[in-house]
Structures are given as C-alpha cells and as structure tokens.
Structure 1
Amino acid sequence: FRYKKKLTDQGVKCLVFNPFRPMLSTIQNNRDHRKILVIDGNVAFNGGVNIADEYINRKERFGHWKDTAVMLKGDGVWNFTMMFLQMWEVISGDKTEYNMYRPTVKNVVNNGYVIPYGDSPLDDENVGELVYMGMINNAKDYIYISTPYLIPDNEMLTVLGYAAKSGVDVRIITPEIPDKWYVSVITRSFYRDLETLGVKVYEYKGGFNHAKMFLSDDKSAVVGTINLDYRSLYLHFECATYMYKTNCIKDIKADFDDMFENRCHRITHDDINNRSFWSRFMSVILRTIAPLL
C-alpha cells in the first residue's frame, strides 16, 4: 500500500489487486499474475517480464536473469486491452467505455495467426493448461519448454511422457539458481520421473530462467506468464500469446537453440543420483503440499 501511495502521489492511477486481509480465505490464492503493457490501444507487450531491476539485470539477485516477451501491433492488441480494462473495472468499480481504446492501426503485415488469451480461476476452463497440452499432443518432431517453476500434475506428466515415447524430442529448461529454494527442491524431485519418461531436462547455467515459452515443430509457440505449476495453471489470473506460423517463430527457435548450445546444462542420470540427502528428504515432505507453494 505504501507503493500505491507513492505512485498516486506522482500522478499515476494505481489499484491493488486482491489486497491481503488477515482472515482465513481461499480467495487470497487467486493472484493476478498477468503482465500486460498496452500503449494507445495499438501496441502491446506480453511475457514474463515484471517491473523490477533484476528483470533487466541491473540488480543481480539470482545470477543472470533470463526472460522473454513479445510485442504485438494491430488488432491482436485489443485482447490485452480488454483483459486490462475488465480487471481495472472489477477492482475500481468504475464503468469503462471500452470502444475508445480500440486499435486504430490497421493492415499490420504478418504471416500466420496471433491469438492473445487469458486464463481465470473463476470459470471451469483451465485454458492455460489446455493450450500447453494441445501443443504437446500435436507435436510431431519436437516440443521445447522453458519454465521457472516445474511442478507438473499427473495429467501433464502423462502427456509429456506420451509425446516422448512417441518419438517427439521433448526438452524442458528450468533455472540452475532458484529464486525460491523450496520450489527448486520440488522441481528437481521430478527430474527422475521425467528422465524415465524420456523427457530431456536442462538447467539455465549461472542464473534464473524466468521465461515461460513453448515451441513446437517450427510452427507454433506460446510466450506469456503461465508456469508449469499448480498455482499458475489453476489459481492465478494469467495471460499469454499463442502464435502459429508467424514471422517471429524463427526468433523463438533461435533463442531456444542458443540456450541449449551455450547457456544450459543437460541434466544427466548422475546429476539425479547425486542429489544431496537434504534435497531428497525435503522433496518428500514438500511434494505433499506442492499445490500450496
């Protein structure tokens, strides 16, 4: 609330989503995890990037911070404008005239399709997880995944394993240096399960990989805010951009290739077996409460 006052004093309109109330309530789990920046209704940015010094590596907290985002122009921006204004209206209680924010830039040239989408814990559709599962199930050659938090449920493990056993090259990049030690302990406890299924796991060397990306077969990709953990897939308000045969697919592929070749360490069978007793012990305990973390 002090930060809200600081911004308000500077003339910035600021609202607090779901402020903490000292009472027992499950609604405290519903966090607004979306990252949306819209400029004049014509340009939007979406990805993993928050507004803090570590995201631009001005301040080093967990080694080198790796993150990604995409820039949209044209009609697709309207989806993000609506997500922002709807949330603003719910929190503020003020009625918004939406049409005044419609995109005015037309005829933006791009191949393929761009579909920005949101996910909400208040409906009966797990959009974020379904999009990810759809990409995994439809992959023919490869599926590359980048996520800071890897706590897959049984359904996600099943589709990842089925893809790998079908001959699809399934690779996942996680951080080497975690921002939350307990999440890292749980994440690494899944490495053996994934190795057994044929999934290749990599860790981002010397830093924290905060990028949330999926890429499949040089055709489809997702960049957004959605992690592979219970909170992100089921409890948070999230958003992402799905792209199919767009021009930027090659840039996303180049980023993955660079990480695999130069910035990541492939987790081996020996790495898994050499986990410390403390890590193994804590993972047994923490996996029982993984959805709460």
Structure 2
Amino acid sequence: MKGKYKRLVVNRIVITVVLILLQIVWFVFMLEKLARYSSWITTAFTALSIAIVLYIIGKDDNSAYKIGWIVLIMTLPLFGGLLYLFLGDKKPSRNMRRKLNAQHDVFKDTLIQEGELQDRLGKIHGRAAGTFQYVRRVSDFPAYENTDVTYYPSGEEMFVDMLEELRQAKHFIFLEYFIVAEGKMWETILEILKQKAEEGLDVRMIYDDMGCLTLLPAGYYAGLEKYGIKCMAFNHVIPFFSLVMNNRDHRKILDIDGHTAFTGGINLADEYINEKVRFGYWKDTGVRLKGDGVWNFTEMFLEMWNAFRKEDTDISCFKPHVHHPEPFEGKGFVQPYTDSPLDNETIAENVYLDILHQAKKYVYIFTPYLIVDDVMRNALCTAAKRGVDVRIVTPAIPDKPTIFRLTRSNYPPLLRAGIRIFEYTPGFIHAKSYICDDEFGVVGSVNMDFRSLYLHFECATLLYRTSGLEELKKDSLETIAASREITLKDCKQGIIGGLFDSVLRVFAPLC
C-alpha cells in the first residue's frame, strides 16, 4: 500500500509541475506573439506596467512587498504589469473570503469577553491589558483565566501527552494540521482516531492540501471517511487554475472534548518527534491548554470546518464546561487567536511587535526563518538599543538552503544594533515562540517570515503570567547554550554575495 501511495504522490507532483510550466510557457508565448504583431500592443503593455506601478505605490500594503513588485515590473516592463494582474493579489479568492467571513459572522457571537477579566488584567498591568484588548478587537477572540498551560520543549515529549489525552477522549476530537505524513506518529494517532470513531465520537480532521502535496495521495481524505473520520483537505491544489497557492492553512490544533487543546509548531510527521532524521535533531515546541481558553481553538476549528462543510448550526454543545462541569484551574491569562489573510490586519506580527515595544529586560525568540520587513527589523533593533537583551535562535542545519541564506542575509543590521543571534548547531529548530521578562509568552505556528505573517492562516496563544512560562524560559536558555553565537565576521559574503543577498531580500515577499 505504501508503494502505491508513493507512486500516486509522485504522479501528483509531476502533473502539478507540468501543468504549471505549460501555463507559464503559454503565457509568455502569447505575449511575445502579440507584441510582435503590433507596436501598439507593446506600448499598451508598457503603459499598463507603469499604471500598475503607480497603483502599487498608492496601495496600503507592506512596503517590502511593494518594492519587490515594482523592481520586477520595471525589470520586465512588457510582462510585469500582466504578471501582477495574475499573481499580485495575495488575498484569498473571493469564494474563500465570502465563505469564511460569512461563517465568522455566524459564530463570532459565541466569543464573549468577560468584562471583569479585562478590568482585573488592567489593574495588574495596563500595557498587557492593551495587548489583549487589541487581539480581542481585531480578531474577536477573547482572553481567559482558569486555563492550565503545559509547555513542551520537544515534539516527542508532547506526543506522549497527545496520545494519553486522545485515548481519554469521550465526546469529540478535532484536528487541524498543515503537514500529515505516514509514519509512526500519524499511524499511531490514526489507530486511536479509528477506534474513537467506531465508538461513536465525533472525529473531524482538516489538513492543508498543499502542505501534504508530497506526503499524501490525492483524495486521502476520502479514505479516512471510510473509517468514520470526517475529513477535509483545505484549499485543494488545482494546478491548471492556480499558479500560486498563496493562502495555506498553517495552523496546528488538536482539540479534545473542548477542554484540552495542543498547539505549537509540531505537525503530524515523524521528524517532529525525531523518529526520522532529516536535518539533525528536530527542535520544536508546543503547549497544552486545559480549561476555559480552549474554547477559542474549538471555535476557530468549527469556523473553518463549517465554512466549507456545513454541519453545525449551534456550536454551544462543544463548549468546555459541557463535558467538564467542574471548574477549571490555572494561573494567569491566556488568549488563543488566529491570524488570517482575510482581515487586512497582521495580528501575529503586531503581537510580536507589541511584546518588543513593552519589553524591559529581555526577549528570547525561536524561529526557523528570519525574513523580516522594515517594521519588524526596526522594532527588534530599537528594543536592543534601549538595553533589552534580545536573542534570536535560528537553525544551523537548514531545511531550505535558499531560505537559509535569506535568513542569514538579515543578520548584519540586527547584530550591529546589539541583538545576539544563535544558530542551533544540533540541527533544525522549527519552534515559533517568544518569551519576555518572565511575564509574556507566545507559542504557536507563526514563523517570522512573509508567508506566515501575511499569507497563511495561523494560530498562536498569547500567555501572561501563566504556568509554563518558567519552562519556556529555561528551555530558551538551554537551547541558546547548545547553539553557536553568530558574529558580523560570520556574515561576510563579498561584493557578489552581497548583491545576490540583496536580490533575495527584494523578491522574498513575492515568493
């Protein structure tokens, strides 16, 4: 069976690549043919490119993204404007926007912020209250108390508790992941899901079709349905109609009975639990929430599910206390939230920025990719210049060599500002986390790159004075100690290398 799957996956990739190349060749051929036919057409295409550049300048968009397109269009004045018309709109399709926005409007009334909680947080830390209020206002997801947080410094540690909680599930299991791959991790989970579905539990799964393109055969969701597992592949890859699959579901959510949820950077594949070695030791992180705050994850899953597969009219039956009448315990405040390309609001980036702006002592950051815009770069540098101990850990062994070079090309201005950068020498760090001043933390699926911050559907949990933060800090320091500190001498590329890095930075937002 595995051999059959591999052949199907290879065929799927070949078909996808061939169709995309055919589209590009056809597009270029037709433009050149038209241009040769008449000088007026050449003039018209050039005028279109100029008009598109002026349009881009006036757009309320990320400056790095605008610069990349302007350079590309001026380099290819004949084709650049048309390329932008086909590929420049990074927003989800109208159909996707309509469905998701409509579903959010239906379910958002279930997201109720307790007024007294905001007041209590304001009395403890007014600036923190402002951060939580911002996330609530732009995403509708409220903050909660009474939620216990467990931090995991590795995928293998989290996997043990994931299995234990899955086996204890009594009512429903929701999974939403960017990557699912056959192997020990997924097959162990799948056996439990089959058993639970057979017992009558409501088991549902969403996986990203592009994320699993090379890992699962087309139509894999239909096979799961035969086991009683309701399954949906998000944003199907249709090569003939979609040159670029920009908007991917990069979230990682495991929700059990509405009162227990796991999230972080950990997907369902063997490298995430180091059963499979790809780039040395795979360093990842995650958190488990138990309590009231899990409702945000339940709602965001059901919102995505019902936007494309109408099933629930009343979702109150999935709330935490329906299947757990006893009160929950937990110190501090949590706020799980989602960021999407639908709202024209870079929530994830703004949370990161807000933490940097209010940091007093330190900020430690884990990220596999460091591809930042001017706003994020300035915030990082300004924090360091005012005396905050800013440390960033990136991989020493890359998963994508070009992206690794692009990440390294962003080091020099940060190092000159006093930021300390470390590369994780045991292998690849896939974790996405912030910790600040022993008080703030963020653990989620959000990388510090353009795709995560602007194009993907992401999720994360904002933590303030919760359990788990002490373990996050300890893990940060231990990871830094196991890493190699980078200096400006390590970043010298020469004139040609420097020019190549500049080109990479210009076009990175377009990829």
TM-score between the two structures when normalised by the length of structure 1: 0.94
Aligned length, in residue pairs: 291
User: Please, which moves more after superposition, 279-288 or 27-36?
Assistant: 279-288
Q: Which amino acid is the alignment partner of residue 317 of structure 2?
A: M
Shift of the 259–22 alpha-carbon distance from structure 1 to 2, 3 Å rule, reads same
Take 2:306 and 2:269, find their aligned partners in 1: how far apart are those partners?
25
User: Please, which moves more after superposition, 52-61 or 276-285?
Assistant: 276-285
1:113–1:245 CA contact under 8 A, matched in 2: yes
**Matched residue SS, 1:16:** strand
**Matched residue SS, 2:447:** coil
Shift of the 22–75 alpha-carbon distance from structure 1 to 2, 3 Å rule, reads same
Give 1:80-229 correspondences, 5 Å limit. 80-104=297-321, 105=324, 106-229=326-449
Shift of the 13–195 alpha-carbon distance from structure 1 to 2, 3 Å rule, reads same
Take 1:115 and 1:74, find their aligned partners in 2: how far apart are those partners?
12
Structure-2 residue corresponding to 1:16: 233
**Matched residue SS, 2:370:** coil
Q: Deviations over 1:84-117 (max 9, x none)?
A: 1100111223344311111023432222101111
**Matched residue SS, 2:423:** strand
TM-fit CA distance, 1:26: 8.1
**Matched residue SS, 2:391:** strand
Take 1:224 and 1:283, find their aligned partners in 2: how far apart are those partners?
29
**Matched residue SS, 1:239:** strand
Take 2:483 and 2:224, find their aligned partners in 1: how far apart are those partners?
39
Structure-1 residue corresponding to 2:509: 291
Q: Which runs of 5+ in 1 are unaligned?
A: none
- Per residue, is there more helix in 1 or in 2? 2
TM-fit CA distance, 1:173: 0.5
Structure-2 residue corresponding to 1:61: 278
2:291–2:329 CA contact under 8 A, matched in 1: no
Q: Which amino acid is the alignment partner of residue 255 of structure 2?
A: V
Take 1:255 and 1:287, find their aligned partners in 2: how far apart are those partners?
31
Take 2:509 and 2:244, find their aligned partners in 1: how far apart are those partners?
15
- Per residue, is there more strand in 1 or in 2? 1
Shift of the 286–24 alpha-carbon distance from structure 1 to 2, 3 Å rule, reads farther
**Matched residue SS, 2:230:** coil
Take 2:257 and 2:357, find their aligned partners in 1: how far apart are those partners?
38
TM-fit CA distance, 1:210: 0.4
Higher relative contact order (CA 8 A, sep 6+): 1
Shift of the 98–276 alpha-carbon distance from structure 1 to 2, 3 Å rule, reads farther
Structure-2 residue corresponding to 1:47: 264
Shift of the 91–26 alpha-carbon distance from structure 1 to 2, 3 Å rule, reads farther
Q: Which amino acid is the alignment partner of residue 253 of structure 1?
A: K
Take 1:3 and 1:52, find their aligned partners in 2: how far apart are those partners?
16
Q: Which amino acid is the alignment partner of residue 427 of structure 2?
A: G
TM-fit CA distance, 1:166: 0.3
Take 2:272 and 2:223, find their aligned partners in 1: how far apart are those partners?
21
Q: Which amino acid is the alignment partner of residue 509 of structure 2?
A: P
- Tell which structure's C-alpha radius of gyration is larger: 2
Take 1:39 and 1:203, find their aligned partners in 2: how far apart are those partners?
35
Take 1:137 and 1:65, find their aligned partners in 2: how far apart are those partners?
31
TM-fit CA distance, 1:151: 0.2
**Matched residue SS, 1:29:** coil
Shift of the 7–282 alpha-carbon distance from structure 1 to 2, 3 Å rule, reads farther
Shift of the 126–40 alpha-carbon distance from structure 1 to 2, 3 Å rule, reads same
Shift of the 163–78 alpha-carbon distance from structure 1 to 2, 3 Å rule, reads same
User: Please, which moves more after superposition, 20-29 or 242-251?
Assistant: 20-29
Between the two proteins, what is the percent identity of the paired residues?
Answer: 49
2:446–2:453 CA contact under 8 A, matched in 1: yes
**Matched residue SS, 2:337:** strand
When the two chains are superposed, the root-mean-square deviation of aligned CA atoms in Å is 1.8
